[in-house]
Structure 1
Amino acid sequence: MATDFTLRGLPVPARYSSAESMPMSFPNIPIRLGLFALFLLGWALQPPVHAAASAQADPRQTWQMLDYIAVDYAGAVQGGRIIAPGEYAEMQEFAGTVRTQLASLPASPKQPELLAQADQLIAAVAAKTEPDQVAALARGLADTLLASFPIAAVPTSPPEPARAAALYAQQCAACHGPQGHGDGPAAASLEPPPIAFTNAERAAQRTPLALYEVISQGVPGTSMASFAGLPEAERWALAFYVGSLAYSPQARADGEGLWRENAEVRGRIPSLETLTRTREADLAATWPAAQARAIVAYLRSKPQAVTESVAGTGTLALARQQLAGSERAFAAGDVAQATTLALSAYLDGVEPVEPMLATHNAALLREIEAAMARYRAQLSGHAAPAEIAAQLAQINALFDRAEAVLQDSHMDTTTAFLGSFTILVREGIEALLIVIGMIAFLRKAERREVLPYVHAGWLGALLAGAATWAAATYLVDISGANREVTEGVSALFAAAVLLSVGIWMHQKSLAGRWQQYLHAKLSAALTRRSAVFLFVLAFVAVYREVFETILFYIAMWSEPASGAIVAGLAAGSAVLVAVAYWMLRLSKRLPIGRFFSVSSILIAVLAVILVGKGVAALQEAGWVAQALIAVPRIEWLGIYPSWQSVLAQLAVAIAAVIGFLVNTRTARAPVTETKV
């Protein structure tokens, strides 16, 4: 901890040293649509402009100063009297600097509120207000700052504090001591002396986020250097590790019992993000101090507990926790956080058990999905608290029924086989329709030299699916929101391309235009752009289904039923091979004009189905609003009970009909083929 680090000129007192175009006329239109869709995907995955601007202004420095004030003001003022003039002067300087930095941040809707809170803080410090009131003002301002300018500091996966022990011994023990008492071999020569992590009072006021920020940024004027060179995961692990040194093994054991037995406790800390911002003192305002201390002791030593279902609490425990947190966030006026938690309740809490529940009681699963969609709509519409409470009561009652069904209906071999078989066949048929259609068309057009690109696309999708399975099993936890975004964007991309291709194929099926097309294009050379387009379409169409199928299999896998699941997978694969063979045989027998006509209609229908599924997936991920209507939910047709998905399907259907009508009216007009 001896390297130099300057926090961009931020004045921090010396005493802080804590580590706290296709030639056969697959036209340019679908190519451009595909490229445009990929551009939209890349654009959507970029951070918002507002967030980027606020990162340049570095609001995390302002947040860190507010944390200093909240923790250390008590060392400057007690009972309205200054007990440490030097420290009090620094508190005044800090409060003024916070006000100046807030004024220099990019304009935002909450900036007037931020500045008003900063003025209150300055006035409170000047009036020598009691430490608890100043701390409340500083933390309130810090929370408002985070809501307006997120500092994007949340672990991507649960930290592993136990693995940080060796890292602590290597990097920190020389100053802070082997046990964190601040008595390392180098401590005597340091001024100011290192912070003792075992200080219970100070530990009660610190959050893992505050510790992570100090580890990442360092403290100028002290021996505490920046450790930004360490991987982010190691810095988070260190933050939780040093944050746990003030707690005894007994406190951790007591906390584990409280966590497992008390659903209210679990609901209070429903996510990793919440845990990183939770102080022992926050919990002590609701529970007895000893319990608050024990809970924090346990979660600091095992943060992954907040992402795990608790044994004996039911299959839908995580969904219940997230909904409880959503209700509290809504009551506090934070609709955005309430909506985020509501989405997590469904995507991370309910979707993993969908294959099992759908096998036993599909109607109940649809009830749960509809009830949770209504709840999210109520949140967006700022419904009355009584309506929110009533809807949550209905959802929890449905959860009770679902858990009873899942508990009474163990995953027997028949259920496992049917579930595995159904999932594969259901997801595979859609991909087959697109890929077999492409292969059949290229064979009819006598362009077999193009087929390798199609085969490379679907084979590549299968390989990518295998990589996804490995990553989701051994490396990362693919969140529900990311899963839905991937499915939604890929479905909309495929729908856009299929709509344009369907209209084009319908045109070629009329008045012998397919004959003119073939004579004009049969000798055209294959371009790189056309080949890439074919590859991308085949890849996207198959990967979307493979991606969803893999995640379903991961969710339903169990060792006792593994044989039946594998048998269902094998049987489903055999059925898909038979269907593919039948479709190819049928396409060979159809006259080419009839083939074009039938294919164009089938492709247009697929586009309508896919756009409905794509919009629904993006709604579940929170990317698209959801206004419910009373229509049946028919998943295999892509029909979902929301205005957005139904109107999107109507728009695509109308576009297809208009395209077909225009083709019919111009069928007798002279045709001149041009290369596009």
Structure 2
Amino acid sequence: MPMPLPIALIRSSLFALLIGWAVLLSARAELPAANPRQTWQMLDYIAVDYAGAVQDGRIVAPGEYAEMQEFADTVRRQLAALPAKPKQPALLIQADRLVALVAAKAEPTEVAALARGLADAILASYSIGVVPGSPPEPAKAAALYAQQCAACHGPAGHGDGPAAAGLDPPPIAFTDADRAAQRTPLALYEVISQGVPGTGMASFAGLPEADRWALAFYVGSLAYSPQTRADGEALWRKNVEVHGRIPTLEALTRTREADLAATLPTTQAHAIVAYLRSRPQAVNEPVAGAGRFALARQRLADSERVYAAGDAAQATTLALSAYLDGVEPIEPTLAARNAALLREIETAMAGYRTQIGRRAAAADIAAQATQINALFDRAEAVLQDTHTDTTTAFLGSFTILVREGLEALLIVIGMIAFLRKAERRDVLPYVHAGWAGALLAGAATWAAATYLVDISGANREVTEGVSALFAAAVLLSVGIWMHQKSLAGRWQQYLHAKLSAALTRRSAIFLFVLAFVAVYREVFETILFYIAMWSEQSSGAILAGLIAGSMVLVAVAYWMLRMSKRLPIGQFFSISSVLIAVLAVVLVGKGVAALQEAGWVPQALIAAPRIEWLGVYPSWQSLLAQLTVAVAAAIGFLVNTRTSRALAPGDPS
């Protein structure tokens, strides 16, 4: 029995989307033949532990020294086995020198400097892909530490647990201040994840990644007193400059106290590291008194700095964070006051990222950054005007809800109207369950974003981009199918004879998924926008805008359902097919733009208008994607028309 056409089209679209998504992921993923993470971990161990094996050219711990020799030789072999990179020959030369220094019992400071330099070079050449998905919560790791670690490392981290006596080498004392100053949370995470061969330290890879990161920060904070953490909090909150030294969560995971002490007084570096290891989410919080765009300025400055140092990939990451985490949360408020200025900022920051991608001269990058900072100055001046706060909050709230809700409304009301026309009200509960479930998921997202995790801008854009492309693929298929049926004759016979087979339980589930995805992508973005713009002073105006926007959406839904009832079924399908195809074009443009903002898709800017409500963005990638979908819809409609003409007048198929 042939598969009903709507199901076949939808399933083929989903299959194509999944294949395309897999290709996109595989294009982004690099699968090395050897794992540079272990190489990096051994170098970190050499840098920290060599001083305990050799002093003044003499071996003071034979077992420890033998381990240092083994690790140095293994580093050399693993580097040779890693995929070829432009800097690999230079890395091998450094590895040979490290082997020679260890063999010659060189001074610990010299060995540590070389090991750390080689480890940093490996990070620059080989992405080890280890970054917390969200800020760890060390306080919640205390119970996990007591359960998994205290038996060896001791209840307070002194290395004196009941099982420590039988271990050789003995467990690490996390309270050792000198050792803590030399370790990074990343190094601790790697030890927890992979263990240490030849010691009692087993791998805890079976623990969830979030738990391993929380443990890494927790044990990394045991060497610091509560008073030191309090001092660090005060320094972090009042010292804007130090935020540039640790601009991101990723930077924090790779920062040693000793690194920070190179540019700050030792006592300040000690206190700041103590605070940030106990509260890593602080790196994502805005600096008090530093202006609304403080985080964006900070990320932008760091991007400019690392680009000048030759790290274009990290510069791109920081530039994306400057926009997604530093600017986008402020968009609703700024858009309500000066939408043109907001577009200038978006365009300038997109141009900055494009220049990085083109490997422009450092002077050009600096000039673009200066232009962006000037735009930030203008925007902060606009936002400092408090006379229109109530009106701005109301308009921002109203605009967000209507703008984000209208697309979802078009899709859901279209499905409801279609099922009513087709006399298939029994399938309506699936659609209602889809949009209602999306609202519940939105409420869960609000709770998570408010109380549990920090949803990064990149994760937000990826979620929106993927869901938009999914919806576009399904809508394109459904639009072509509806256009085909709008051309066929004898509608009532078709509906009664075939629609019962076409709308099986399987296709009803597809309708549920489409309703859920279409609504959730809008709810997801709306929730995060409201969280960003919420304030006690403007809460009344924001709620008023929310209520007014909801009333407008209800009125639009009522009008659409009334209009759909009056249209003859053939005309309804004809009009709906065109609207659905247009909506697919809009969504694919928005989906590609969101993935560009997340850094998943390249962005080549062109001189073209930006019309957000139509999904039109000034880049070749988004415009070509929209053109592709539009051409596919046009071809589908043309084939339908020609096929319809070839059918016999009484053939309803």
Fold shared per TM-score above 0.5: yes
Q: Counterpart amino acid of 2:512? A: F
Q: 1:608 to 1:211 in 2, by over 3 A?
A: closer
Q: Counterpart amino acid of 1:71? A: V
- 2:192–2:203 contact (8 Å) kept in structure 1: yes
2: CA distance between counterparts of 1:620 and 1:637?
Answer: 17
Instruction: Map Cα deviations across residues 502-540 of structure 1 (whole Å, 9 max, x no partner).
Output: 233333333747567447535646423322222222222
Query: Counterpart in 1 of 2:581?
Result: 604
2: CA distance between counterparts of 1:650 and 1:423?
Answer: 27
Q: Is 2:29 the counterpart of 1:29?
A: no
1:428 corresponds to which of 360, 385, 405: 405
Q: 1:670 to 1:618 in 2, by over 3 A?
A: same
Instruction: Map Cα deviations across residues 454-473 of structure 1 (whole Å, 9 max, x no partner).
Output: 22322222222222222222
2: CA distance between counterparts of 1:133 and 1:418?
Answer: 62
Q: 1:411 to 1:265 in 2, by over 3 A?
A: farther
Q: Counterpart amino acid of 2:272? A: I
Q: 1:59 to 1:348 in 2, by over 3 A?
A: same
2: CA distance between counterparts of 1:248 and 1:402?
Answer: 41
Q: Counterpart amino acid of 1:489? A: V
Instruction: Map Cα deviations across residues 293-346 of structure 1 (whole Å, 9 max, x no partner).
Output: 333233233322211112111222222222222222212222111111111111
2: CA distance between counterparts of 1:557 and 1:608?
Answer: 33
Q: 1:228 to 1:360 in 2, by over 3 A?
A: same
Instruction: Map Cα deviations across residues 318-377 of structure 1 (whole Å, 9 max, x no partner).
Output: 222222222222122221111111111111111111111111111111111111101110
Query: Counterpart in 2 of 1:540?
Result: 517
Q: Is 2:64 the counterpart of 1:84?
A: no
Equivalent residues in 2 for 1:49-198 (5 A)? Answer: 50-51=30-31, 57-77=34-54, 81-84=57-60, 86=62, 87-105=64-82, 111-164=88-141, 180=157, 192-198=169-175
Query: Counterpart in 2 of 1:6?
Result: none
Q: Counterpart amino acid of 2:244? A: G
Structure of higher RCO (CA pairs closer than 8 Å, 6+ residues apart): 1
Q: Counterpart amino acid of 1:637? A: L
2: CA distance between counterparts of 1:524 and 1:192?
Answer: 71
1: CA distance between counterparts of 2:533 and 2:440?
Answer: 21
Residue 127 of structure 1 and its aligned partner are, at CA, apart by 4.6
Q: Counterpart amino acid of 2:360? A: A
Residue 398 of structure 1 and its aligned partner are, at CA, apart by 1.6
Residue 38 of structure 1 and its aligned partner are, at CA, apart by 4.5
Residue 210 of structure 1 and its aligned partner are, at CA, apart by 2.0
2: CA distance between counterparts of 1:475 and 1:576?
Answer: 31
Q: 1:411 to 1:126 in 2, by over 3 A?
A: farther
- 1:22–1:529 contact (8 Å) kept in structure 2: no
1: CA distance between counterparts of 2:344 and 2:386?
Answer: 19
Query: Counterpart in 1 of 2:342?
Result: 365
- 2:491–2:652 contact (8 Å) kept in structure 1: no
Query: Counterpart in 1 of 2:283?
Result: 306
Query: Counterpart in 2 of 1:205?
Result: 182
Equivalent residues in 2 for 1:624-639 (5 A)? Answer: 624-639=601-616
Q: Counterpart amino acid of 2:102? A: V
TM-score (norm 1): 0.87
Q: 1:623 to 1:150 in 2, by over 3 A?
A: same
Query: Counterpart in 1 of 2:571?
Result: 594
RMSD: 3.3
2:384 corresponds to which of 396, 407, 427: 407
Instruction: Map Cα deviations across residues 614-647 of structure 1 (whole Å, 9 max, x no partner).
Output: 1111101111110111112111111111111112
- 1:22–1:530 contact (8 Å) kept in structure 2: no
Q: Counterpart amino acid of 2:476? A: L
Query: Counterpart in 2 of 1:17?
Result: none
Q: Counterpart amino acid of 1:34? A: L
Q: Counterpart amino acid of 1:463? A: L
Q: 1:97 to 1:374 in 2, by over 3 A?
A: same
1: CA distance between counterparts of 2:149 and 2:445?
Answer: 37
Q: Is 2:650 the counterpart of 1:669?
A: no
Q: 1:595 to 1:259 in 2, by over 3 A?
A: same
Residue 608 of structure 1 and its aligned partner are, at CA, apart by 1.6
1: CA distance between counterparts of 2:495 and 2:206?
Answer: 61
Residue 475 of structure 1 and its aligned partner are, at CA, apart by 2.4
Q: 1:283 to 1:385 in 2, by over 3 A?
A: same
Aligned-partner SS, 2:327? helix
- 1:23–1:527 contact (8 Å) kept in structure 2: no
Q: 1:122 to 1:647 in 2, by over 3 A?
A: same
Q: 1:22 to 1:540 in 2, by over 3 A?
A: farther
Q: Counterpart amino acid of 1:30? A: I
- 1:507–1:513 contact (8 Å) kept in structure 2: no
Instruction: Report % sequence identity.
Output: 80
1:581 corresponds to which of 552, 558, 562: 558
Unaligned runs of 5+ in 1: 1-20
Residue 278 of structure 1 and its aligned partner are, at CA, apart by 0.8
Q: 1:89 to 1:673 in 2, by over 3 A?
A: farther
Q: 1:302 to 1:514 in 2, by over 3 A?
A: same
Q: 1:475 to 1:660 in 2, by over 3 A?
A: same
Aligned-partner SS, 1:285? coil
1: CA distance between counterparts of 2:511 and 2:84?
Answer: 46
1:214 corresponds to which of 177, 191, 209: 191
Query: Counterpart in 2 of 1:449?
Result: 426
2: CA distance between counterparts of 1:523 and 1:217?
Answer: 56
TM-score (norm 2): 0.89
Q: How many residues are aligned here?
A: 652
Aligned-partner SS, 1:259? helix
Aligned-partner SS, 1:26? helix
Query: Counterpart in 1 of 2:594?
Result: 617
Residue 233 of structure 1 and its aligned partner are, at CA, apart by 4.2
Q: 1:436 to 1:170 in 2, by over 3 A?
A: closer
Residue 47 of structure 1 and its aligned partner are, at CA, apart by 11
Query: Counterpart in 2 of 1:348?
Result: 325
Q: 1:631 to 1:182 in 2, by over 3 A?
A: same
2: CA distance between counterparts of 1:380 and 1:405?
Answer: 31
Q: 1:314 to 1:671 in 2, by over 3 A?
A: farther
- 2:293–2:326 contact (8 Å) kept in structure 1: yes
Residue 415 of structure 1 and its aligned partner are, at CA, apart by 2.6
1:488 corresponds to which of 465, 469, 491: 465
Bigger shift: residues 572-581 or 613-622: 572-581
Bigger shift: residues 136-145 or 610-619: 136-145
Q: Counterpart amino acid of 2:391? A: T
- 2:238–2:288 contact (8 Å) kept in structure 1: no
1: CA distance between counterparts of 2:95 and 2:494?
Answer: 72
1: CA distance between counterparts of 2:208 and 2:241?
Answer: 34
Q: Counterpart amino acid of 1:236? A: W
Unaligned runs of 5+ in 2: none
1: CA distance between counterparts of 2:252 and 2:246?
Answer: 6
Query: Counterpart in 2 of 1:277?
Result: 254
Residue 148 of structure 1 and its aligned partner are, at CA, apart by 5.0
Bigger shift: residues 652-661 or 624-633: 652-661
